[in-house]
Amino acid sequence: MRKAWAGYGVDLHLELPAGSGRRRALEEALRQAVRDGRLPRGTRLPSSRALAAELRLSRGTVSAAYDQLVAEGYLATRPGSGTEVATTPSAPELVSGAFPGEAAPVRDPREATPVHDLRPGQPDVSTFPARAWLRATRHVLATAPASVFGPCDPRGRIELRTALAAYLARTRGVLTTPDLIVVTTGFVQAINLIAAVTGGPFAMEDPGHDFYREVVSRAGREVVPLPVDELGARTGALTPAVAAAVVTPAHQYPMGVPLHPSRRLALREWGGLVVEDDYDGEFRYDRQPVGALQGTAPEQVVYCGTTSETLGPAMRLGWMAVPPALIGPVTEAKLHADAHTEVLGQLVLARLIETHDYDRHVRAARLRYRHRRELLRARLSAALPGAALPGVAAGLRALLLLPPAGPSEAEVLAACGRAGVALRPASPLWHGRGRDGLLIGYAAPSQRAYPRALDALASILAGGEPRGRPGRSSG
């Protein structure tokens, strides 16, 4: 019996109610499974012989139950295909996706698909290198030993860590070795791991990414504002009481300025732990990208990067180049966070890097996004004279600071909502009361959709009712 069950072709969990005949109990259990939606339409049921062996019933009992449910319309028999479910429950609570007595699940507003998507934080996923990814996947599956599907080093697969060490050295000037790299599911996990092994307050740029501030706060660390001006983070505000400083040296988020060389030096001389978020270091359009800060202080800087803005946020692949003194604690924290990051994606990414398909994809994307940024600047200048796009030509987003004489942030957002234009308000990016503005992602729309999205936004900005707003804070 155990041997027959181990070789059973289709798993089916049924509980036969007590107190009735075996055939009637089986009929009711199958009816209920169909009504509950556990057996949706088209589900193939096991053969009468197999189900009889599993439930320790006679084959005749199972065949009779199947025949009865076929007659009632619950099941159907198809020549050569056996028996399958023929109906779908239509109860309102099942159609809505909720269980009886429960409210329908609340959708994350970030999952909604807008008419015009100008949200920051993602590339044009319609250009994902699917063919290269498929080639790399086939190569990995054909050549990888079976052991890759077993336990993994918490730091990640050595193949990816080796490929990353070489790639980051070549493209970003990072000085590290495979032993000092930890593969993560993205920057959120990276900052959580650092917070787990570092006590004391974290200085975070002001303005900066408000979601990451929340991540650090939820990890139990105090967040200290680190003001930003036209030269980047004001490193003179750092004190010995601060345990770590989280910065975006190559392209400050959201002001778009690189960290001035004098402040890079000051940051190193400060001596505390530096977390370098190199979120879009590959995308500089007016010159060669500024090298990573980590390359000048590898024993002080934790370098963090991801594929979120090169391949897409759904890939959940990131990395940390960790100082030698921290690699042990960070590895231990990673082990207890999730053991290790998913392996197959790591091996495929390693192959993309080794074959330079990853480089080719990034270079092609850089050309597209440079053109999009230039088009955005031209359209905004025409629609809203006096509007400023601070920072250098880089990245996948632009900060539009609204002029005092133009429409307010709330007015623009309301008009965008009515027109189906999705973007982000800028004011929450400041630790306190912030500047009115918009954070516009120019990478997310497809090549065809982008001009229409710009038309819609430009129309909104040009049609705003000008009015002064005295007493507004500059942050």
Note down pLDDT in tens along the chain; length 475 residues: 445 444 555 678 888 876 668 888 888 889 988 888 888 888 888 888 888 888 888 999 989 989 888 888 899 987 777 899 987 655 444 333 443 444 444 455 455 678 999 999 889 999 999 999 999 999 999 999 999 999 999 999 999 999 999 999 999 999 999 999 999 999 999 999 999 999 999 999 999 999 999 999 999 999 999 999 999 999 999 999 999 999 999 999 999 999 999 999 999 999 999 999 999 999 999 888 889 999 999 999 999 999 999 999 999 999 999 999 999 999 999 999 999 999 999 999 999 999 999 999 999 999 999 999 999 999 988 888 877 688 999 999 999 998 887 788 999 999 999 999 999 999 999 998 888 999 999 999 999 999 999 999 999 998 853 333 333 333 3
Return the pLDDT at 109: 47
CATH 3.40.640.10, the chain: domain bounds? 128-359
Domain covering 128-359 in this structure, CATH number: 3.40.640.10
Radius of gyration, CA atoms only, the chain: 28
Return the pLDDT at 405: 77
Return the pLDDT at 126: 94
- Asked if 221 and 441 touch (Cβ cutoff 8 Å), the reply is no
Distance between CA atoms of residues 382 and 378, nearest Å: 6
- Asked if 399 and 409 touch (Cβ cutoff 8 Å), the reply is no
The CATH architecture of the domain made up of 364-463 is Alpha-Beta Complex (3.90)
Return the pLDDT at 5: 45
Which listed CATH number (1.10.10.10, 1.10.760.10, 2.130.10.10, 1.10.230.10) goes with 2-92?
Answer: 1.10.10.10
Strand blocks (E) in 92-148: 116-117
CATH 3.90.1150.10, the chain: domain bounds? 364-463
Helices (H), 173-276: 187-197, 210-218, 261-270
pTM, two decimal places: 0.82
Contacts of 180 (CB under 8 A, 6+ apart): 321, 322, 323, 324, 327
- Asked if 312 and 124 touch (Cβ cutoff 8 Å), the reply is no
CB atoms near residue 23 (< 10 Å): 18
Adjacent-strand bridge partners of 427: none
Contacts of 25 (CB under 8 A, 6+ apart): 16, 17, 18
Return the pLDDT at 71: 86
What does DSSP say about strands 273-277 and 301-306: parallel, antiparallel, or unpaired?
parallel
Return the pLDDT at 469: 38
Return the pLDDT at 141: 97
Compute φ and ψ for 315, nearest 5 degrees. Answer: -70, -30
Return the pLDDT at 38: 85
CATH 1.10.10.10, the chain: domain bounds? 2-92
Strand blocks (E) in 177-331: 181-184, 202-206, 223-229, 232-233, 244-247, 273-277, 301-306, 318-321
